[in-house]
Structures are given as structure tokens and as C-alpha cells.
Chain A
Amino acid sequence: MKLHIDTTLNQEPAEFLCAPDETLLSALRNELGLTGTKEGCGTGDCGACSVLLDGRVVASCLVLAAEVQGRSVTTIEGIASGTTLHPLQTAFLKEAALQCGVCTPGFIVAAKALLDVNPDPTEEQVRYWLAGNLCRCTGYDKIVRAVLDAAADMRSTRA
């Protein structure tokens, strides 16, 4: 039996069908065709599947798709404004803050959640906030630098 779910997805009304025990990650990728959100560990340890649920960053592998009825979900596909990249995306490109790229959507979504609540984080705050996002390529340094650059860029644009 499939459940019919109405939700808000990347600021637009959306509906989909899911099994009662299907994860949000599976529904995004397999029912809605949004494959930007990646599956890493499937147990909430790696952060590759990070999405925003009502504005808060969560691991979509540990959310049932049925839970998002009437709620708001933002995925990596909803971070840019049309064809204009988000400052975080621009900074990741500029700093070359990725290699294989599988962790990148999760890092960008999680970093956006940080900058939404703290526009001027310290390096330590960035590292702790992103401790649940694992990257096996970069060694993290360029990622942290990109997040700090994006934060500075966003503050100067706002000022």
C-alpha cells in the first residue's frame, strides 16, 4: 500500500507516493527524481543525504518520507536561485572544495543551515557544525575555507 504525501519541496507544492517505511532519501531519489541528495552510509553517520526539514538540517536516510506531509523540504536542487548559484556553491567551485563530489551536496545543504542561523561563524564553529558530514577526498580544509569565504561574501553583499 502506498501513501499519498503532500509537501512543500524546494519552495514549491509537491506530491508523491511512498511506501509506509520508505525513507525520505529514497522518495527524493526514486519517486521525485531528485538525485542530487546522495546516499552514503544509510545510518545517519556521514551526512551525504543532508536536507533541510522545516529549515533544520537532517539526515534524510533517517526520516520516513511519510513524515514530511505538510512540511517543507529543501534539497541541494533548491539551494541555487534559478541559474544563479548560491554563494556557497560559488565558493566551493572557487576553492576547489571537492574532488569526487559525493559528499558535496550534503556539505552545502548543512553549511547553508549554519549560515542561516549564524552568518559569521568562526572556523571552529564551522568544523563542529559540519562534524556529521564526512569527506574522504579533500581533508576538509578547502571545505571549511569555502564556507568561511561564502559567509564573508554573503555578509558583504548584505551590508
Chain B
Amino acid sequence: MLHGMTTTRYEAPGTVADALSVMAAHPGAMILAGGTDLLVQYQAGLRTPSAFVDVKRIPELMAIEADASGVTIGAAVAAADICAHPVIRAWWPGLVDGVQLIGSTQIQGRGSLGGNLCNGSPAADATGALIASGAVAHIAAPSGVRTVPVEQFVLAPGKTALAPGELLVSVRLPKPAAHTADAYQRLIPRTEMDIAVASVAVSITLDPSGLCTAARVVIGAVAPTLLLVPEAGAALAGTTLDAAALERAALAASAAARPIDDKRGTAAYRTTVVGVLTKRVAAIALSRAKER
């Protein structure tokens, strides 16, 4: 319809196996979850799939399963369902910080974690907290299921670890250790519905005395992909997140940034801001961890 003489098909498989078969039968097929990126790109003529494979009829892709060791979030679960889930809210407030920033109410009702990951944007708001919390992606391939740490999922802007014919099924977050909490913030020049100029996600773990025993710091929109910055985490570990430690973490985050100049900000501005955000977000994660 949109492209005139279209031959694009619509398929709605009910199982992962059927989805893989459909994708094998239609090279060039694309996965349709919330459609908030794909259908915009399709209508702009930027993507020309041979078929839309709507995965929202597949139970595993639409379920949130919590158990004693963690939570598995289906790749097509809508943002609104993630933000409303009591276990996710309790264990990963930083993931909720990021997911709830994505688009409007209308977009929240459709957009998914899987879409945010597979779109491969360095500014993806949901991805930083996933990396900070050590999440892994479950990928179904014709040869079986494989697991990839989320920080290795996006290879370059718009390019992911998915081989042709593979399907992102879910993301698994391990249950946080005691006294562990996460946080996420981005800088945008307005209050709603924009793309990050720079972003930071932090997860920290404290010992009972309040000393930080482990920290993961992730920076976004300042490199071709989101980056886990081990040097920033190391600057926080072994400290009480005092001002000097926060400053060292900020310098490490800024040093790891490799941003570009674009309409959202200059490379120099982004480099500075990602350090400022590192201090702020680490402080939020600290206050949350102390409450646990």
C-alpha cells in the first residue's frame, strides 16, 4: 500500500520455531515487535522487508518470568508492561528509569526492549541499565539457542550480533546481590521525548558497612555503541563513593567517550556531560543500594 506495488508479506507465527521457519523461507524478512522504529523506517523507504514477522503472538516474546535467580523479559514485551512489573520495579529501578523515558504514552504501549536493542542505537535508553546489571540476550537460531552478554549485542550503529535468520527471544537479568542497586539518567535539552545527548547507567554493590565492592558504569550516546567502562567501575570499587572517587569515575567515563559532533551536541560537550552524569547517577545508585 505505502510503496505501491508492494509484495511485502505479513506473518504472525505463534512459536519461536515457526518464526525461524518463516524467516528462513523469506530472506529479507524483518521482525515486527512494537513497530515504533521499523514502521517509521518502512514508511520513509529506509527499510524494505520481504515480510513483516509479527512476533507478538509468540508467548516467550511477550512474557515476563520472575524466579528466585532473576527475571526473563520477552523481547517484544511493551515498555509500559516492563515499567508496571512489581519485581522489575523493585530489583532494577535503573532499568525502569531508562525504559520509561522512551517516547510518549502511545510509544510506551508498543515499544519493546528487544526493539530498543535490535535498532542498535548508541543512545538506546533501555540498554545501558541492562548492561550495568549484567543482562544477557537469549537468541534463537535454527541450530539452537545461544546467549550473548548485552554489552556484546550491538556491534555498530544499527548492526547487531544477530545473524540472518536469528531471533532475539528474551533478555535475562540476574537477581541483584544484596545491597545492589542501579540508576540511569540521560541529558536532553527538553523534558520529554527526545534522544540522549549523553547517558549513564550505573549498578553498584555495597558490603554491609557501605563500602562499594563492585560497580559497573555504562555510557551512552558518546560512542558508536553503548560502552561498559571498567575503569570507571574500578574507580568506585573499594570506596564509599566519596567525592574523590566520584571524580575519578567521571574522569574515566569522559576518557572512554569517543563522541561525534552532531545537532544534539558537540563532542567536547558530550565528553564533559558524560562525566557529570556519571557522578550524579552513581550517587543515585548509592542511595538506592543503601536502602537495601
Interface residues of A (CB under 8 A from B): 3, 18-23, 26, 42-45, 47, 50, 53, 56-59, 61-64, 66-67, 69, 110, 113-114, 128-133
Contact = CB atoms under 8 A, between A and B. Distances in A.
B106 interface: yes
Contact of A21 (B3, B80, B193): B3
Among A57, A110, A114, which residue has the most Cβ atoms of chain B within 10 A? A57
B109 to A, nearest CB: 4
Contacts of A69: 12
Interface string B93-117: 0000000000111110110000000
Contacts of A50: 106
A47 B32 CA distance: 21
Contacts of A26: 1
A110 B105 CA distance: 8
Given A67-B56, A128-B192, A3 B105 contact: no
A35 B71 CA distance: 43
Interface residues of B, number: 31
B230 interface: no
A79 B20 CA distance: 40
Interface of B: 1-3, 6, 8-10, 12, 32, 34-36, 39-40, 42-44, 52, 54, 56, 78, 80, 103-107, 109-110, 192-193
Contacts of B44: 43
B189 to A, nearest CB: 15
A19 B80 contact: no
A6 B226 CA distance: 42
Given A131-B192, A132-B103, A132-B104, A21 B36 contact: no
A111 to B, nearest CB: 10
Contacts of B10: 3, 20-21, 64, 66
Taking chain B's interface residues, is the majority helix, strand, or loop, or is none over half, making it mixed? loop
B54 A62 contact: no
Given A20-B8, A20-B9, 18 more contacts: A21-B1, A21-B10, A21-B52, A23-B1, A42-B43, A47-B104, A53-B109, A57-B105, A57-B106, A58-B109, A58-B110, A59-B107, A62-B40, A64-B54, A66-B10, A110-B106, A131-B104, A132-B193
Contact of B42 (A21, A58, A110, A133): A21
Nearest to B39: A62
A153 B22 CA distance: 51
A63 B106 CA distance: 11
B110 A63 contact: yes
Contacts of B192: 128, 131
Contacts of B40: 43-44, 62
B54 A67 contact: yes
A136 B40 CA distance: 22
B1 A19 contact: yes
Contacts of B39: 23, 44, 61-64
Contact of A132 (B6, B9, B54, B107): B107
A57 B80 CA distance: 11
A66 B6 contact: no
Contacts of A21: 1-3, 6, 8, 10, 42, 52
A44 B105 contact: no
Contacts of B2: 21-23
B36 A44 contact: yes
Contacts of A53: 109
Nearest to A20: B10
Nearest to A22: B1
Nearest to A3: B10
A47 B107 CA distance: 10
A132 B1 contact: no
